[in-house]
Structure formats: C-alpha cells, structure tokens
Amino acid sequence: MTWKKLLVLMLVIGLLLTALSGVAFANTASSAGTTKTPIKHAVFIMMENHSFDSLFGTYPFHRNLTATVSGEKYNMFPSSTQLSKLHAVPNGTYSTPDPLEGYSAYHMDWNNGKMNGFLNNSGPASLYYFNVSQMSLEWDIAREFSMGAMYFSSTLSETIPNRLYSLAGYSPVINDYGPPPYIPLSSTIFGELNSYNVSWGYYVKNPADGTYVLPFIQGLGSHSSNIRSWSTFASEVSSNTLPSVSWVSPISGGASGYSQHPPDNVFYGEQWLLYIINAIMHSPEWNSTAIFITYDEGGGFYDSVPPPVVAGNQLGFRVPFIVVSPYAKENYVSTTVLSHTSLISFVDYNWNIPPLNRLVAFSNIPLDMFDFTAKYQSGAVARPPLNMSAIGQFIPDELAFPQIGPNGSIASAFPLQPQFNLSTLPYQETGSSSDNMSNVTDYFAGNSTDIVPFYNTTYFLSALLIAAIAIPSIIIRYGSRVRK
C-alpha cells in the first residue's frame, strides 16, 4: 500500500470516527449565560393537536371589539370547495371527535400545499372549529398579550417528532414510535443549557408516572433532578426560585384531560393554562418572565395556510402561539414565520449561546412580539399584572385540580378590558421580523458552531459513500499485492 492510499484510508476512518462521536465546540464568548433582554425566565407550554384555524379561525382581532364580538371574523377561511363543510362547534359543547392522525394522513391533508385533503383523509372531524363560546378564555390571553398568526409545527407529522423538534431541533422518527432511536443529550437544548450553566427544569404532573418524549434523550438520566412535578413548579414560582428555562407539560406524568387533545374538554385545558399564567403573574417572577404557549401539531384539523419551507425543512401545519409577558405587546398579532425551533432560537439568542444546529440558526426569533424599550402612557416599559377579576371564577386553586365542567357558556368572559388604551399603544398592532441567529453575526464568531451530531448530517452519508467505494478497493489491491 502506497503512502497516498494509506493517507486516504486514514482520512476515511477519521471521518467515520468523527461521524460516530459527534463533535461539539464551545462558544468562547464571555457573555454566554447572561441574558440579552430583561427576560430572565422562559416558560414553555405545549398543548396538543389543534391547528390555528380550529381555535382561532374566527378570532376577531380587528380593533372594533365590542361585547358582541362573536359575529366578527378574522378572514382565516378563504375560498375553498370544502369550506361549505366546515362546522362550528355548537355553543355549550367543548369537545370534538378526534380526526385521523398520522404522517400519511397529514401529507394527504396538505396535498403539496393545496390544503384541500382534510375531509377525505383526516375525515369530517377535521372540519370542526371552535368559536368565542368555547375559546373566550384563550382568546382573552391572545388579545391582552401577543399572538403569532404564522407559527407552524416543525414537521408534517404527529406529537413525538414535533415535540422532539422543540427540544433538539430535529427528530430521528417521522411518526409516533420508539425509542429507539435516541437523541444524544448533547444534541438537545438541555445539553446546551448544561454546557453554559443555564438552569432548567422540565415539569410533568408526577415524574414517577412517566415523562413521555424524554426517554428519547440518551444521557438524561444523570440530570433526573431537573425533571420535576407540577407542584414543584408552583412552589418555585411562589418562592422566586424558578430556573431560567422551564417546560411545563400538560401530558404524561399521570396527567389526563389537560392538554386539549380531542376528544378532551378544551375548557379544562384553558383552566390549567389560566392557573399557570395567574400564578406567575402574581409572583415575584412576573417582571422577568415570558410564557410561550403553543400546540405540538395540528391534530388533523383544517388550516388554510400552506406551511413554508425553512432551511430546507418542510414545516408542518400552522398552530396557535401566544406570548404572555410584562414585555409582550398588548393586542399584537405577529406575522413572522415561526416554528417549534424558534423557541430554541429564542433561548439561544436570549442567553447568548450559539445556535443548537443549522435549523435553529435559520428559524426566526419571536422578537417582534416584545416591547423592551417603548414606554406606555404610564411611563412604564414593563406591564403590571393583568386585572383578571372578570375571569377569576374560572381560575382553579391548584395546578392539578378536579375537573369541573363549565357553568353554562363562557363566551361572556371575552373580551377583557384592555390594560392600556389601544389607540395610545407605542407600537403597531401587527408586524413581523426576520431576526434569526444566522443574521446575528456575533453568534458566529470564534468557535460557535452547531452541535447536531455529525451522523445526522449529509456529511455522514458522504463519508459512508467514500468508505464504501474506497475501503474495498484498497483492501483488494493491498491483498493482491500481499498474495504476490
């Protein structure tokens, strides 16, 4: 074997070893771990299986709101041959049948962006939508704070891959199965936060009763103390000991009926959300917290907006997104294209750490939904806690509460009185931005690179191809020389 061939062989082997190990480089920036904004605590809540149109398709975000807003419509339902078959959930009813779910069904619903396959694939249940009769509490939150009207799930599939995208920026599965395969801890936002000494916690009702998608993460066992209960979360909120980044999950851990997954009663999920929001709002944590509320995937429900492609990744269906914070703009609607990886991008941006991977780097950050500088007429920048007395009767006394049905229609709870006069707000009522980590140049200085495992990139396939071609050839030639 000549030295040139030996060099090629060593290069191939080196590539393969690198591929199997996965390489992560540390950011040398001294600001890593400090926050870029006044947000010191980010709380992420991911509900279940509703498209944007199924909950907010008739949301009246026009500014002429009155007590009779139920007749107003946000024009989310454009002309379509199947719109005549859309069904409003009847007043006094708080649930629907579960549409057909799955990777194949969703792709046929999507129909290459035509958005016209729902009836024939996810079925008649996919064409139900809620209105003010059921959604008044959630609509109140959207109106009083900031709402994203162009937020998409990360992939045209079910719960597990979408929740993994929200934690790792990719998924090794395309549907609800596994593990295996697994995701290395170092390739998740948990691993990144550990590397930069940013505190975090993941909360389910009772960790002893299961943690659902977390078993996909290999190496998380050594951080079991970060996996906590709902009651611990409530205690940390009240005692001002909440970690920097928190995930509060309405599923797993023995929880049932809180996630709004059909056919669950959506009002129970609204009450659960209200408890968390109210607890934070009236705690020492309020002035430094942002609560991000979204849904893992569309659940097979109709949506009218074709999902775009971001950094080569086909996004899934549009889902609701609300930001609650003293810095969230009041009554604001963002048209920034966002997805689950935008949540990771916000964490990376805010805590001055490099983007977790390429998709995170090119995912827009929901910065336009915040106001960190403009003053209201009161002279304040941060908003005080909201007066929620009008809906106080619906706020439970504890996070895990007995499920009690609605007392008649809750439509009268919407709309709440604006905290500030809408005509005097120091920002526009709608907007968008294109801010992402790829165009924030200081994050790519020094050794700031993505930490996605090498085997999850196209380079690994290239290395395998080189090995498949080069190694057998070298072995054959070397072996023939030895025999001679």
Return the minimum-mean-pLDDT range out of 9-18, 85-94, 311-320, 321-330. Answer: 9-18
Residue 317 maps to a domain: yes
Q: What pLDDT is recorded for position 464?
A: 55
DSSP state of 327: T
Q: 75 with 7, same domain? A: no
Q: CA-to-CA distance for 106 and 318, rounded, in angstroms?
A: 12
Rg of the chain in Å (alpha carbons): 24
Mean pLDDT of 217-229: 95
Residue 412 maps to a domain: yes
Return the minimum-mean-pLDDT range out of 18-32, 237-251, 351-365, 390-404. Answer: 18-32
Q: Which of 320-329, 415-424, 437-446 has the highest mean pLDDT?
A: 320-329
Residue 189 maps to a domain: yes
Average pLDDT, the chain: 84
Q: Which residues of 450-463 are buried (b: 16+ CB within 10 A; e: fewer)?
A: bbbbbbbbeebeeb
Q: 348 with 247, same domain? A: yes
- Report CA 254 to chain centroid distance, whole Å: 22
Q: CA-to-CA distance for 288 and 85, rounded, in angstroms?
A: 45
Q: What's this model's pTM, rounded to 2 decimal places?
A: 0.84
Residue 470 pLDDT level (bands cut at 50, 70, 90)? low
Q: Is the pLDDT of residue 16 over 60?
A: no
Residue 376 maps to a domain: yes
Mean pLDDT of 118-140: 93
Domain, as residue range, for 131: 46-452
Among candidate residues 167, 211, 108, 141, the one with its CA nearest the CA of residue 386: 141
Residue type for 21, please?
S
Classify burial at 238, counting beta carbons within 10 Å of its beta carbon; exposed 0-12, middle 13-18, buried 19 or more: middle
Q: 96 with 15, same domain? A: no
Q: What pLDDT is recorded for position 291?
A: 98
Q: Is the pLDDT of residue 400 over 70?
A: yes
Place of tokens 């669950």: 264
Q: 308 with 334, same domain? A: yes
Q: Is the pLDDT of residue 128 over 50?
A: yes
Count the domains in the chain: 2
Largest CA distance in the chain: 94
Q: 293 with 320, same domain? A: yes
Q: 14 with 93, same domain? A: no
What CATH number does residue 107 fall under?
A: 3.40.720.10
Residue 29 maps to a domain: no
Mean pLDDT of 378-390: 90
Q: 387 with 472, same domain? A: no
Whether residue 376 contacts residue 383, with contact meaning beta carbons closer than 8 Å, is answered with yes
Q: Collapsing DSSP states into helix, strand and coil, what is residue 295?
A: strand
Q: 9 with 72, same domain? A: no
Residue spans of alpha helices (H) in 145-188? 159-168
Residue 379 maps to a domain: yes
Q: What pLDDT is recorded for position 479?
A: 53
End-to-end C-alpha distance for the chain, whole angstroms: 13
Q: Which is it for strands 313-314 and 309-310: parallel, antiparallel or unpaired?
A: antiparallel
| Residues written for the chain | 484
Structure tokens at 288: 């430094």
Q: What pLDDT is recorded for position 458?
A: 45
Residue 416 maps to a domain: yes
Q: 288 with 193, same domain? A: yes
Q: 370 with 338, same domain? A: yes
Residue 345 pLDDT level (bands cut at 50, 70, 90)? very high
Q: 167 with 64, same domain? A: yes
Residue 392 maps to a domain: yes
Q: 469 with 389, same domain? A: no
Mean pLDDT of 457-479: 53
